[in-house]
Structure 1
Amino acid sequence: MSTLKVGPLLRYVDESTASVWVETRDDARVTVTRDGHDWSARTFAVHGHHYALVELDGLDVGSRAPYTVMIDGAVVWPPPDSELPAPVIATLEPDKPLRMAFGSCRTSVSHDRAGNASHGIDALRTYALRMAGQAAPHDPDGDSDLLDPRWPDLVLFLGDQVYADETTDEMREFIASRRNIEEAPWTELQDYEEYAHLYSLAWTDPTNRWLLSTLPSAMIFDDHDIRDDWNTSLVWREEMQATSWWHGRIVAGLASYWVYQHLGNLAPAERLEDELWRLVLAHEGDDELDLTEVLDAFGARVDQEPESYRWSYAREFGSQARLVVVDSRAARDLAPDRRALLDPGELAWLDEHLRGDVDHLLIGTSIPFMLARGLHHLEAAGEAMAGGAWGGRGARIGEWARQVVDLEHWAAFQETFRHVAASAIEVAAGQRGRAPVTVTFLSGDVHHSYVSRARLSRRTARRSPPMRSHLLQAVCSPIRNPLAPRMRFATAVLSYGVAGPLGRLASYSTKVPTSPITWKYARGPWFDNNLAFLELSPSTLRMWWVGGKVVDGDHESPRLTKVADYTLGE
């Protein structure tokens, strides 16, 4: 009899359908039971691993009920000895205010004193303990947000769920058991087997595993899912491709991302359009489908031809909200003469989805659209320098800087930034349907959190109609991977210090065009591990960030505490 290795993860859920993803030990049939009904799927194989995505349909709108997972007829979830509540599948209720959690950057280490000392308290696990009723909140101010038992409708993970390059001790032990870590790629990931183990470490902590089995999740990758600064520039890409190990890394990274993260992002109708999923559904016969060769070829192709596959996706929540999740890593065009964060097809797709006629437009992008202003100017200037604005020597300095200092966000792709900013302005001005109450970019990546609020620049305001929507940037990073103190200081300098005037001077000197918007912090920045939430109503948006606090030395059961909050429309 096969057993459950990873999962179950509750993935896409709407008013009447749900998707449950699992990894099993062997070839098996996986069955999910809810309200006396069964739905089943046969596993498919990739590099000796076995997976199933069970699609449930015909569910009642706004219903909430426990479920079980069976493998070959034997119940494997929930565990019989679990002290955690029963996992449930809750379908969406159209008129209920949407509540969503979001965040990025989470490493997987122990939850004891040593793990908390090296990586801080896991904000996701702390929230799970609270929702499981196993740890009271640390609530000295009587904060209702911490006491509110209502579940979010989903959690959006905005990148770096796994770190393929900055591995933990436990992951390094596994790598060392397979190969010589003194040879390339050293303690970084090499192949699919190592990715599979990394995902297992990330998703099998008992408390987080329970949370992910009962809270629907959506995901998008960022650089560390593959490697730091992935697709920074053509120079970076050529340097990686010249190594002996990069091809294996990128193929394994993209292939495993499709299996572990992307497949569950899609609505059932979208999955039916997916070239790989159609192979899974079409397979007949007694033998399990082995997708290894096809998936590896797919990974190699979409790395070289990113326009051949779309990782971005969008979700509609009635008239309340539209969530547009953008791939800001794999879809880059790095050719110096047409350098863009999004290739033409991806930009056209995003432009199509940047529309009003909803109360709130949410744009998920792993890297912040609006950085600290000083850093934004420096990144823009760095791109111009690397492009030759200060001659050959300046180009070499600019390329060095953008790789070493991670100058590779939206600001470092100015043409794309200005295009998307102009589209957002049109949405906010009511030129693309009814203007939403808010247009909000949700991001992670930068290992500090903040809210920024934008307005039209003076030049744009003279020739454009006023914005009717609030234009915001909300960042939650990290969930568990805080900056070292010296890096916090450097980030604060870039946020508040001399980087502001120096960045403006640099951007002026390299003739960077004026941004169509300007912005400033409304809250933050703050640096500790945290998980963010937003709640929407027709006229308001509320956001709050929570973290963990060890009380009375109990490192295994940290208490949930509020870090910050922000409200528009009250």
Structure 2
Amino acid sequence: MSPLVLGPLVRCVEATSAAVWVETAAAARVEVRAGDATGEAATFAVHGHHYALVVVDGLPIGAATAYEVLVDGVPVWPEPGSPFPPPVLTTIDETEPLRLAFGSCRTSVPHDAAGNGSHGVDALRAYAMRMADLVPAEADPDGGAPRWPDLLLFLGDQVYADETTAEMRSFITARRDIDEPPWDELRDYEEYAELYRLAWSDPAIRWLLSTLPTAMIFDDHDIRDDWNTSLTWRRAMEATSWWHDRIVAGLASYWVHQHLGNLTATERALDPLWRRVLDHEGPEELDLSEAIDAFADRADQDPTSYRWSFVRDFGNQARLVVVDSRAARVLEPGRRSIIDDEEMAWLDEQVRGGFDHLLLGTSLPFLLASGLHHLEAFNEALAAGAWGDRAARFGERLRQGVDLEHWAAFQAGFAEVSRMVVETASGRRGPAPATVTFLSGDVHHSYVSEAQHSRARRRAGAPPLQSRIVQAVCSPIRNPLPRPVRFATAFLSYGVAGVLGRGVALLARAPRPILRWSYVRGPWYDNNLATLEVHDRDLRMWWARGVVDGDDHARPRLEQVADFSLDAPERSQRRRKRRAANRSGEAPSAFARRRSISST
């Protein structure tokens, strides 16, 4: 049995440093060697599992450095005879255009004919196979510039604690009676540790995660479907005999496997659990089990006690703000908000100009299809008693039955964040970025929407938006919607449903949004992974899926699904003027002629 159970995963990478996460089979000292730079750390224990986060400092800026992992002095990674290229640590060069891959919703079923038949081809694995064919300086996995992404952002549902696979159910059955609550769902930390092992141990995925830096945020299935949908839902869960153990294990394992690696060196130094690890002295391994369970219980009962959201800046090119839209919710009637007051104040500080692009990562799409948005706003008002108690009970059943629990179902929070975005895009929070772009997942289909001032605000003379406001969704990586649900989603995506939805929302006196938006691309339903690249003040995004040729399920190829480019507002305005001049018969300027030739 290898001393290395899981990993390595490359996590937070900065200008000259990289954090590497591992799980080992026993208490050990872990060392990472990358060229002339070395880092080492002792493991800490959580419920019989052993982990280390090793920070390697002194790396060259913007360079890829091959590395190896040693456990108690024994080399364990890369594995001898591996068919994959050597893993590398690649630091951030803020002068290079930022490239970021993102997506959500990935189930861990086998990558064979049966698994691909039931769940489609794993887009992340297809991405890994394409990357493995290319060395870092030449990598072109998706049709863009010849290099790998700087960051891979997972936007929720990395693991499914409530919809377990056959392999996970076999593990559960070997431990306990699956006919007793919580049945075939996860119960405790041990089962979460196995769930993460299944998600990250396929050889191609494991190599990819050992090479690409990653950032992550949870969504509902990391804990349970509809997590914190409403106060009624939460009270029903808390009344069960198993929920307390589930939520504690879910949040504790999330901190270990996902959240810790999101933090920069400065943020880790302020984290109370990580301080325990750093301050531990003595020959015995630190057992963090009791402390992390107490921490997770407190974080669930009092969301203000800990922040799961985080922010990363990439020079002046981009700020990435990743928002917790699950654990920090306020569910009390009359106070409902998707994030609490402390979290909202923190977000208000982060949503600022001064960057070429402001990227807001949130597992739940901020801008749904307009019909669905208005339906969720209507449902929130209905469940709050806008049409009486009987209708409120029906509204609650509807909310839980069809997952009406996105930003649109928390209108107070939606309105507040809309205000922040409009102020930023109008230049009232510093120099306006070229784009304010929401990156999201969750809904098991992908699309791009663009927003403008609402008609009412335009009539009222609102200052023009200097930024383009965009919603980009990539979902799923591997968990496609059933075909009947696709038809319902498509209906809610187009105009007539938007009009009907707005009508019922008005009848329930739901507030009017200050933004108006519509699809500019999509929806599409493939398993896919999206990539975003900054080009000064322009932005390009593309989506790619895995395709199996013949019976070669082991080596899917990557195929582009969609491509979308965003010009900076100033360039779009020049382009509109040129088109208007051409329509009026005026000769285009020399600049316009050069642009036309260049574009061709």
Conserved 8 A contact 2:159-2:221: yes
Q: Deviations over 1:342-400 (max 9, x none)?
A: 10000000010000000000000000000000000000000000111101111111111
Which whole-Å deviations, capped at 9, do the CAs of 1:169-199 have from their partners, x for residues lacking one? 1000100110111111000000000000000
Aligned to 2:133: 133
Residue aligning to 1:255 = 252
Q: Name the count of aligned residue pairs.
A: 563
Distance 2:488 2:251 in 1: 33
2:392 matched to 1:376?
no
Structure 1: distance between partners of 2:382 and 2:530: 36
Matches of 1:422 and 1:476 in 2, distance apart? 25
Q: Secondary structure, in 3 states, of the residue corresponding to 1:452?
A: strand
Is residue 2:524 matched to residue 1:565? no
Unaligned runs of 5+ in 2: 572-600
Tell me the distance in 2 between the aligned counterparts of 1:332 and 1:421. 17
| Residue among 302, 305, 323 paired with 2:320 | 323
Partner of 1:482: 480
Equivalent pair of 1:3/1:25 in contact (CA under 8 Å)? yes
CA separation of 1:219 and 1:73: change in aligned 2, threshold 3 A: same
Partner residue in 1 for 2:18: 18
Q: Which SS does the other structure have where 1:23 is aligned?
A: strand
Q: Is the 8 A contact 1:2 1:26 kept in 2?
A: no
Rounded to whole Å, the distance in 1 between the matches of 2:60 and 2:85 is 22
Query: CA contact under 8 A between 1:329 and 1:341: conserved in structure 2?
Result: yes
2:468 corresponds in structure 1 to: 470
1:522-560 alpha-carbon deviations (Å, 9 max, x no partner)? 100000100000000222100000001111221111110
In structure 1, the residue matched to 2:214 is 217
Superposition deviation, residue 146 in structure 1: 3.0
Among candidates 175, 187, 206, match of residue 203 of structure 2? 206
Q: Is the 1:316–1:323 Cα contact (8 Å) retained in structure 2? A: yes
- The 5 Å alignment of 1:388-537 reads 388-461=385-458, 462-496=460-494, 498-537=496-535
Q: Which amino acid aligns with 1:524?
A: G
Tell me, in whole angstroms, the C-alpha distance in 2 between the residues paired with 1:537 and 1:149. 14
Conservation of the 8 A alpha-carbon contact between 1:106 and 1:479: yes
Q: Secondary structure at the match of 1:491?
A: helix
Cα 1:116–1:134 shift into 2, 3 Å: farther
Contact 1:332 1:340 in 2 (8 A): yes
Question: Is the 8 Å Cα contact of residues 37 and 56 (structure 2) preserved in structure 1?
Answer: no
CA-atom RMSD, angstroms?
1.4
Q: Quick one: distance in 2 between partners of 1:438 and 1:145?
A: 22
* Contact 2:142–2:544, Cα closer than 8 Å, also in 1: no
Show the counterpart of 1:544.
542
CA contact (8 A) 1:2 1:71 kept: no
Give the residue type in structure 2 aligned to 1:507.
Answer: A
Q: Which residue of 2 aligns with 1:362?
A: 359
- TM-score (normalizing by structure 2): 0.92
* Structure 1 CA distance for aligned equivalents of residues 346 and 157 of structure 2: 24
Where does residue 80 of structure 2 map in the other structure?
80
Q: Secondary structure at the match of 1:370?
A: coil
Structure 1 residue 275: deviation in Å?
Answer: 0.4
Contact 2:141/2:148, CA 8 A, preserved across alignment: no
1:178 aligns with one of 160, 175, 178:
175
- What TM-score do the two structures reach when normalised by structure 1? 0.97
Name the residue aligned to 1:139. none
Counterpart residue identity of residue 483, structure 2: P
Q: Describe the shift of the 1:267–1:484 C-alpha distance in structure 2 as closer, same or farther (beyond 3 A).
A: same
* Deviations 1:477-513, CA, capped at 9 Å, x for gaps: 0000001111111111121275323211110100111
**TM-fit CA distance, 1:148:** 4.9
SS at match of 1:425: helix
